[in-house]
Structure 1
Amino acid sequence: MRRPRPAGDLEGVHVTQQQAGETPGFGPDLVEVFGPSQQDGGPELVQLLTPEGERVHHPEFDLDFSADQLRGFYRDMVLTRRIDTEATALQRHGELGIWAQLLGQEAAQIGAGRALRPQDYVFPTYREHGVAYCRGVNPLDLLGLFRGVDQGSWDPAENNFGLYTIVIGAQTLHATGYAMGMQRDGVVGTGDPDRDAAVIAHFGDGASSQGDVNESFIFAASYNAPVVFFCQNNQWAISEPIERQTRIPLYQRALGFGFPGVRVDGNDVLATYAVTQAALQRARDGQGPTFVEAYTYRMGAHTTTDDPTRYRLSDDLERWKLKDPIARVEVYLRRNGLADDDFFEAVQQEANDLGHTLREGCKALPDPQPLSIFDHVFTEMTEELEQQREGFDAYLASFEGAHR
């Protein structure tokens, strides 16, 4: 059962301009944006599209979006949600061993994913299906992981999208190290938009309590690494509510490590895109790390083995359904005459076609060849690994002989 937030837990938390300005690396233009308290529903929560589908403006993060961009965001989120619902159904039918749902977090993932440039690099957890979609990873590759027939064989270099990380928070250290490597490769702060690159690390509110994450903050701040820490605060670390994890908003932790943080409406794809774009550009320019807290809600379960009715109230879920990220974009498109019924029907048909492809494709995924596990350990086969492979091959051959 979710316990109410103790009165005053998040009240009075405010970073003054003087305090923020004293922190090395903070430019004066960042103090107002990244310093103030941004409590849920407060005036400093970065939002460009309200839950009612009304366009609002922000003094620092406002952007102009074309009709094509808005329709593209809508399509991306609908298709991403379809991937999620189909995978959940496949797991219920015994075709997947497990699935980590993203229902309700589509805007956070699509906004962040579309803000990337081709040369940027992504380090995901195990729930970034929308970001993977944006980077061109075949959804069937994701299903193969959860079906247990794939060890993560997509080529990270092809999409600049790392393999899913199961060890909670470990990817933030990987991301920071990779970002430090970018610095040494001379692809940060050159002023060339086709060359300068940044790294983004995705993790959840629960992972923010891990030591690895906090260690990555220290290294990133100390070396001014070009990395964006993108936290999808979906309010639950499995069954642990956010009130049990922190006494202040998560984004404010960044200031203690020496870099800025910002809280964005994670159900607003426009705001998420704008904030992530700004944070990535700041990193590419050589201004160091940023913490982005995408304030959202996990409307589904943590995974398909989880029963959220055991620990959260249905009222919370119903309240967040009114903030659905897809519905607010649809309302805006319809209200402003930017899309008609033909468009929405076409997107729905595309989603149906995708669903069919996923269902049939998942069932047709081949079982892996046992020896293929050795193919993705090192770029070049080592002598020791070759010996292990030969030994395993001989072991498998002994079973084949027994059947002859």
Structure 2
Amino acid sequence: MVSELIDRFPLGAAVTVAELEDDPHPALARLRAREPVSWLPALDGWLVTSHTLAVRVMRDAAAFTVDDPRFSTARLLGPSMLSLDGRAHTRHREPFARPFRPAQTRERFTAFVEAEVDRLVTALAPAGRAELRGDLAGPLAVAVVAEALGLEGVDAATIRSWYGAFVEAVSALTAGRTPPARADEAYRRLRASVEEVLAVPGSSSLLAAAAGQGEGLGTAEVVADAAVLMFGGIDTTEGMIVNVLLHLLSHPAELDLVRRDPALLPGAIEESLRLEPSASVVDRYATRDVEIGGAPVRAGDLVRVSLAGANRDPAVFPRPDRFDPRRANAAEHLAFAHGPHFCFGAHLARLETRTAVAAVLARLPGLRPDPARPAAARGLVFRKPGHLHVRWEVP
């Protein structure tokens, strides 16, 4: 069967993990044009690169589920909102999602995000140079998640080390490698911190609320969901901020356009999300035999949706490789996924990104990349530059 699939999908058979980690877009374009659902031996599964078919897979949880013991975060953390469907998914998701609706997000987090951004940019401004992933995007995302979860007494460096271990482990599992041992230690320390929060009588934290509302979640379930929020609230938001800045700094004409008309910044953010989603793939498992895009998917097969591939589908986005802050339909991207597992933190991530990028452009005059230290996004699952060194003028 596998040899037949290799013969039938030769473009997919030629794709390597290294290629997908480094610069996947040329390979994704070839697949999308000729094999929009293709068998990739490198991933031991199917890869969907068409926008229409990606939406179909993510919308149909009955045919394409996350509830499978092979799912990477389930293997690492146990069942969570990210690895369950149906009623169990709702039970995990709803207590956490409720505070992140648009009005609640604005009311609870706007002042906090603005204050954090002001503090971080004020500290950076006199130096004339910085590494914006480590000095701005990462600390901001960590501070917001710590505030949201109520993890008092846990310093930012510790939280960053936890989620870094989880991200590394998920990426290793996705690539078929053994996850690092430090992920187990990060889980143990996160659990101990969550248990401290849950032990406080009358705690108003999000974690305590999740444990106490409705049917209530057990400690292990709350820990797993807290770790999931670290993926969504820290790593992908950090990547989102850095990717927007990298896109703007790499396109001087578009950067000048946004500087002259700040009303274009939200469009630039959506366009950056489209071009380089910080979470580039999501996994599903077929619950039954099904044909999709001409591919004979069998029950139990891994069906991996390439958000990065779908977001550059020329059938939806003309001139898809171009960074255009004025693109009218940029928000049709799938960077926050789709269907039951759409990211409920999207409003908060946009708030953080918009606030951080606006402050950097307004308060760091002559902002430009450091030519001695070029940056590029990379990663199989989570895509962002490893660093973003910049310079600016100091009065």
TM-score past 0.5 threshold: no
**What TM-score does the superposition give when structure 2 sets the normalisation length?**
0.32
**What TM-score does the superposition give when structure 1 sets the normalisation length?**
0.31
* Structure number with higher helix proportion: 2
Report the structure number with the largest CA radius of gyration. Answer: 1
